[in-house]
Amino acid sequence: MLSSSIIKQLIAIVGEERLLLGPEDFQNYGIDRTTIWQANPCAVVLPGSTEEVQQIVLLAKEFNLAIVPSGGRTGLSGGAVAKDGEIVIALDRLNEIREFNSLDRTVTVGAGVITERLQKFAIDQGLFYPVDFASTGSSQIGGNIATNAGGINVIRYGMTRQWVAGLTVVTGAGDILELNRGLMKNNTGYDFRHLFIGSEGTLGLICEATIQLTKAPEETVVMVLGIDNFPAILDVLQIFTSKIDLTAFEFFSQLALDKVVAHQGHAVPFNTKAPFYALLEFETKGSEGLDLAMRLFEHCVDQRWVLDGVVSQSLSQASALWKLREDISETLWEFQPYKNDISVRVSRMPDFLVEVNELIERHYPDFDIVWYGHIGDGNLHLNILKPEQLSSEDFVSQCSAVSNEIGQLLAKYEGSVSAEHGVGLLKRDYLHYSRSPCEISLMRAVKSAFDPNGILNPGKLFEAQGQ
């Protein structure tokens, strides 16, 4: 509990209405989309400028108060959870879009700008912001950068990192850093901008970002294919990527489709049922592009990799097909899924899938398992649905035990325990499967340099010193 003196100083920084001390506010701002931990902050503060963020950090540093940065709280790894009496700094008010430059194709935005708003702004300028995923309607740019968010367009456009031209951050020491300033070329030593991208709020608070935009894509077509078996997905991927520049290549299982159709009311893409489905998107570039795609589809059918398929004939149909994939994550929330966000190199995916399937069948013979993900970049989302009769505590305990075996398998295949969701609290104990002891030691050293008192998001990424 904060002392009256500290409360008065926080009010002096942000104003009384911007300091929230009620239990409903704690619940709203103190957790992300994980359901394992309970919110327990000591205060929620909503600064309106980088300078106010700095003043709050300096105050927290003076009194050794832990801070949890908060964006849209759409994270899936416990990175924005305040469970141990921390101060939550919510960046919602840093939501201005300004300094658009049409020549540079850049725009400077506050960390609290909603992702979808930036996407729409880019469209209004005849440009494109390509980072896209299910929570764009509520996630914030600062959080996207702090977790290096990926999504459905990575195969063509890369991760968030590729689109950050500059950052303004407040470090754990209370320093304001302006990093790179939107430059395309800046070969002057260490590029600290990239340390903060994906740092999950452990080095500093991202307050402002200069975002690179790109030209809008040509008209796109969406295909959904019913796939006979998982290895065949990789065969289809190889055939299509050898001839066509895909913007997306997603996959999902029959169970994932069943859940979405039942709970969202979407129509099935075709009557044939298949173990797996692949969703492909590509720019048509005239009739020749579509004709080539159809020839590749026919080849895949001849090889018995594909059982059936459909191609969009309009923008509305393309949007409807995308919803079959995009709405999976939201649909699964009522089943309290234990989410594994894992990746290996695409070339190692077939062998990896054989082993991970055997592991899952051995440990979860009676659990519903929902597979989906960004197969074009080697990213799998393995969702284990909680049985109704099992308590949340027992369910998490069972899944956590299996996560160690998944981690060992990922280490064998030189993969990652977190492809795009971040580490947070959920994956912290499995980090050593993807990072060497030397790397983790150096990561700690970097944190110490930017956050010497260890007040920023302690316990995330790795255990806080002294735990």
CATH of the domain at 386: 3.30.70.2740
Would you say residue 456 lies in a domain? no
Alpha helices in 78-180 (DSSP H): 115-124, 141-146, 154-157
Total Cβ atoms within 10 A of residue 415: 23
DSSP state of 214: E
- Same-domain status, 206 and 140: yes
DSSP letters for 242-262: HHS-EEEEEEEEHHHHHHHHH
Domains in the chain, number: 4
Does any domain span residue 13?
A: yes
Is there a single domain that holds both residue 80 and residue 169? no
- Please indicate, yes or no, whether residues 102 and 204 belong to a single structural domain of this protein: yes
Please tell me whether residues 207 and 257 are part of one structural domain: no
Residue 129 tokens read as 């912001």
Q: Which of 292, 300, 282 is nearest to 246 (CA)?
A: 282
CA-to-CA distance for 425 and 200, rounded, in angstroms? 11
Kindly state whether residues 144 and 195 are assigned to the same domain.
Answer: yes
Which tokens is 124 given?
A: 């209004």
Please, what is the angle between helix 50-63 and helix 4-14, to 10°?
170
- What is the SS3 assignment for 164? strand
Does residue 65 share a domain with residue 49? yes
Q: How many residues does the chain have?
A: 467
Asked whether residue 464 is assigned to any structural domain, the reply reads no
161 neighbors 380 (Cβ within 8 angstroms): no
Quote the pLDDT of residue 97.
98
Which residue, chain included where needed, has tokens 């104003």? 15
- Judge whether 310 lies within some domain: yes
pLDDT value at position 363? 86
Which pLDDT belongs to residue 285? 74
Counting Cβ atoms within 10 Å, is residue 237 exposed (0-12), middle (13-18) or buried (19+)?
buried
CB-count exposure of residue 242 (10 Å: 0-12, 13-18, 19+): exposed
Cα–Cα dist 107/300, whole Å: 43
Q: Considering 215, 242, 276, which residue would you say is the last residue of a domain?
A: 215
Say how far apart CA 372 and CA 231 lie, in whole Å: 14
User: 62: domain range?
Assistant: 4-92
Is 102 buried (19+), middle (13-18) or exposed (0-12) by CB count in 10 A?
exposed
0.75 exceeded by pTM: yes
Residue 146 sits in a domain whose CATH number is 3.30.465.10
Is residue 77 located within the same domain as residue 116?
A: no
Asked whether the beta carbons of 269 and 310 are under 8 A apart, the reply is: yes
Q: How many CA atoms lie within 13 A of 432 on its CB side?
A: 8
List the pLDDT tens digit at each of the 467 positions of the chain. 899 999 999 999 999 999 999 999 999 999 998 888 999 999 999 999 999 999 999 999 999 999 999 999 999 899 999 999 999 999 999 999 999 999 999 999 999 999 999 999 999 999 999 999 989 999 999 999 999 999 999 999 999 999 999 999 999 999 999 999 999 999 999 999 999 999 999 999 999 999 999 999 888 999 999 999 988 999 999 999 999 999 999 999 999 999 999 999 999 999 999 999 999 999 987 777 899 999 999 999 999 999 999 999 999 999 999 999 999 998 998 888 988 999 999 989 888 888 988 898 888 888 888 999 998 999 999 999 999 888 988 998 888 888 999 999 999 999 999 999 999 999 999 999 999 999 999 999 999 999 999 999 999 998 886 54
Cα dihedral 270/272/275/279 (nearest 10): -30
Tracing tokens 């409360």 back to the chain, one arrives at 7
pLDDT digits (tens, 9 = 90+) for 339-365: 899 999 998 988 888 898 889 888 888
Asked if residue 438 belongs to a domain, the reply is: no
Return the pLDDT at 466: 53
Q: pLDDT (tens digit, 9 = 90+) per residue, 233-282?
A: 999 999 999 999 999 999 999 999 999 999 999 999 999 999 999 999 99
CATH number of the domain that residue 42 is part of: 3.30.43.10
CA angle 452, 193, 445 (to 5 degrees): 30
Q: Are residues 63 and 106 in the same domain?
A: no
Residues with Cβ within 8 Å of residue 253, at least 6 apart in sequence:
275, 276, 277, 369, 370, 371, 372
Q: In the structure encoding, which two tokens stand for residue 282, read together?
A: 């590509």
Indicate if 156 and 254 belong to the same structural domain. no
Domain boundary among 198, 215, 232: 215
Boundary (domain end) residue, out of 300, 329, 358: 329
Check if the beta carbon of residue 70 is closer than 8 Å to that of residue 91.
yes
User: What CATH number has the domain bearing residue 263?
Assistant: 3.30.70.2190
Q: Are residues 206 and 234 located together in one domain of the fold?
A: no
Considering the domain architecture, whether residues 180 and 275 belong to the same structural domain is answered as no
- Residue 111 and residue 210 in one domain: yes
DSSP state string for 344-387? --GGGHHHHHHHHHHHHHHH-TTS-EEEEEEGGGTEEEEEEPPP
Nearby residues of 15 by Cβ (< 8 Å), 6 or more positions away: none
Tell me the C-alpha distance between 438 and 287, whole Å: 53
DSSP 268: P
If you ran DSSP here, which 8-state letter would residue 114 be given? B
Residue 449 placed within a domain: no
The answer to whether residue 405 is domain-embedded is yes
Computed on alpha carbons and rounded to an integer, the radius of gyration of the chain in Å comes to 23
DSSP assigned state of 453: T
78 in a structural domain: yes
**Tell me, what's the pLDDT at 257?**
97
